[in-house]
Chains A and B, each alone.
Chain A
């Protein structure tokens, strides 16, 4: 099996990555190295010859590349997003052909956004028309990651009434087969972060395309595929957060001010530990979310919205807090490890925007409030599915893609199982925190039950969605808690409660001792040990 350290070693040195960023050059040699290492196989399901049989593994592989260079994995990983719909809706012939191409290193893109329509999937104006010799596309997609590099594109196009859920269909485009003059690229956009990544566009004028799935099923297939891709985006944030924590951990351990390293002062210790706790919490949510693809497949409409929203948001908090510790070194572009921190901070800003922004995901969660509230009250739990979702590192059951449904019937087992998890705890401090999480969750769910479902939810619904996401994160921490990872998850749970009480404008929780985690993280940053409870060591990172 491909290992993360092998992948991130393939990326080359930090000086080169900084140089590519400075000139907004595409990380071509890095992507080629990932191809050579065999990463594309993890984008293709086993029935078509690939190794995509465990989404926890894919999440970890992305994380391990992202902790070295987020830009590279955003570029490379787009092929996974660009082909996700093919495995869900493609014919046997289409899937086999796409699998063969991806396994051979051909990049793919997912063309959804349009100038002027953004994330509004129902109102795209790129149109597909059927003629005697097949379907033809006319219109433009922009901004699209990989639009220029990709040979293959899955394209959402209007085939029916604008604004209706059955008015759009998916198409597969192979650029190498298009007639000249029926398509052209749109210039690469200049971006603040991920500067070298191919964020460009494509315009069609009567270009030939293959219908992917039945006519009118485009939006449905895209929404189902997003349940997978949004969850996997958690790996991008985890990698960026780990990169930031390692850089800062090394800095505060080695920077001596007035004859004393920063790490020996109370404030840097506490900030470092709090950030490590938040990152551990984000990791717990992302891992449980990724494993839920297999164990709690029917609940992914909830879990994917939560993970895509909360994991980048917590990571943004981590990066912002660590900025305080690094001071000028968070901002200078050519000192301290080639300005890696300011680069990852710029690169990560886009993670909460692409593949469904935070408001889009919170809206998707708010649509499901009535079901989530009822299922919480009923304490509905898919016990065996949940057990699989929290059994980190164990090979999961095969994904039944047909079980990816638009609205979870069981609500969210991870949150709904909270009363039982809390009842099983005994250690006083942890139990007190868990009880407060339970009480806040009950309050949040009670408020969710009162929200009128609407296409454009009230502002209060977004705040409740943000709170419910944190309840999920806290529940994930408790599900994964063991005596061995206590040093992380105790601080993680505390950090989640601190955030949750802030969101709800409630009094903050009692403080917990941050010292043991600060020691552990500073040590891991210096020695290359694992910096999160379920992370991997980093032999090159020191």
Chain B
């Protein structure tokens, strides 16, 4: 994802792809309203995902964010909000 591709839809496409990568299953099988932990990954996977969020979106996030905001449908607007706040939009 390029630096300026940070719209909510672009974040969704990217994040679904990353979660699908960690879960090793197609993105279409991931229900955006199911807590990510319920897909059988320990909460520790959030360590890697939060690192990617920081590097790709340039946001400082703690792994605990993904413990508290734990579905794709909750996480995407949250991250989009952080991006918008940073850009002063």
Contact = CB atoms under 8 A, between A and B. Distances in A.
A207 B67 CA distance: 29
Contacts of B49: 453
Contact of A453 (B37, B48, B62): B48
Interface in B35-89: 35, 37, 40-52, 54-55, 60, 62-64, 67-68
Interface string A148-175: 0000000000000001111000000000
6 contacts: A164-B37, A165-B37, A406-B47, A407-B47, A453-B22, A455-B44
A109 B52 CA distance: 37
Interface in A394-435: 405-407, 409
Interface residues of B, number: 26
Contact of B43 (A164, A369, A374, A454): A164
A541 interface: no
Contacts of B25: none
Given A164-B35, A407-B63, A409-B60, A454 B45 contact: yes
A452 B21 contact: yes
Contact of A455 (B35, B42, B50, B64): B42
Contacts of A391: none
A156 to B, nearest CB: 15
A454 B41 contact: yes
Query: Lowest 9 CB-CB distances: which A-B pairs, in order?
Result: A453-B48, A165-B43, A455-B42, A367-B47, A165-B67, A371-B51, A455-B41, A406-B63, A407-B47
Task: Give the interface size class of chain A.
Answer: 20 to 34
B51 A455 contact: no
A278 B5 CA distance: 50
Interface in A349-372: 363-364, 367-371
B24 to A, nearest CB: 8
A367 B44 contact: yes
Contacts of B55: 371, 374
Contacts of A382: none
Contacts of B46: 165
B67 A166 contact: yes
Contacts of A220: 64, 67
A370 B43 contact: no
A262 B60 CA distance: 59
Interface in A322-356: none
A163 B42 CA distance: 8
B33 to A, nearest CB: 16
Nearest to B55: A374
Nearest to B51: A371
Given A220-B64, A405-B62, A406-B62, A453 B47 contact: yes
A122 interface: yes
Contacts, number: 65
B53 to A, nearest CB: 11
Contacts of A164: 35, 37, 43, 67
Interface of A: 122, 163-166, 219-220, 363-364, 367-371, 374, 405-407, 409, 452-456
B21 A407 contact: no
Contacts of A453: 22, 45, 47-49
SS class of chain A's interface: helix, strand, loop or mixed? loop
A164 B67 CA distance: 8
Contacts of B35: 164
A455 B62 CA distance: 17
Contacts of A219: 43
A170 to B, nearest CB: 15
A219 B46 CA distance: 14
Q: Which among A219, A406, A455, A456 has the highest number of chain B CB atoms within 10 Å?
A: A455
A532 B39 CA distance: 49
A220 B44 CA distance: 11
B73 to A, nearest CB: 18
B19 to A, nearest CB: 12
A166 B68 contact: yes
B35 to A, nearest CB: 7
Contacts of B50: 407
A371 B22 CA distance: 15
Contacts of A369: 48
B22 A409 contact: no
A369 B21 CA distance: 15
B45 to A, nearest CB: 5
A455 B63 CA distance: 14
Nearest to B60: A409
A367 B48 contact: yes
B44 A370 contact: no
A293 to B, nearest CB: 19
B38 to A, nearest CB: 9
A367 B43 CA distance: 11
Nearest to A453: B48
A159 B64 CA distance: 17
A227 B59 CA distance: 24
A165 B64 CA distance: 8
A370 B37 CA distance: 20
B50 to A, nearest CB: 6
A7 B35 CA distance: 52
